[in-house]
Amino acid sequence: MSVHKVSIAWQRSAHTDRPDTYAREHIADYGSGLTLPVTAGAAYLGDPSKADPEQLLVNAVASCHMLFFLALAEGSGYVVESYADDATGTVAKSDSGGFWVSRIELRPEARFSGAKLPDAKAIERLHDRAHKGCFVGNSLKSEIIVSPVI
């Protein structure tokens, strides 16, 4: 088991474009000197040059899937040279009227080298196993779609 801690801090300041409201920018502190400026999504008066919670959620799912994929590929004797993912999260209104990240779509593309190269079926199996193993994805009620680029 493991525990993961993030501290956030916000201080009131005026919004740069809307002086009638507050700025959404805050700092996430991951420990060991690692900090990240965070804000609300641009649609919610956040600064589009900073990460927002919804992007960070999509990032967490995509990164978790990738790390499982890399471990599974290595365990299967494949050498992954590169991996990229153009992941997307969709916010929608729920039946109860609230908003939620209803869908996360991953579009991973891995490049391999070496004597043992996976075929399309092996790549799909690796992604299926990574999807089932990703504990971030397993923690969400969002629909998670994995559409590998092969």
Spatial neighbors of 8 by CB under 8 A, at least 6 apart, are 26, 27, 28, 29, 38
Q: What is the pTM of this model?
A: 0.92
Provide the residue type at 41 as one letter.
G
Beta bridge partners of 144: 104
CATH assignment, 53-146: 3.30.300.20
Q: Are 130 and 68 in contact (CB under 8 A)?
A: yes
Residue 124 to residue 76: CA distance in whole angstroms: 13
Please, what sign has the CA dihedral across residues 121, 101, 86, 4?
negative
33-49 burial by CB neighbour count: b if 16+ within 10 A, else e?
A: eeeeebbbbeeebbbee
Q: In the chain, pLDDT over 70 holds for what percent of residues?
A: 100
Span(s) in the chain for CATH 3.30.300.20: 53-146
Model confidence pLDDT, tens digit, residues 14-67: 999 999 999 999 999 999 999 999 999 999 999 999 999 999 999 999 999 999
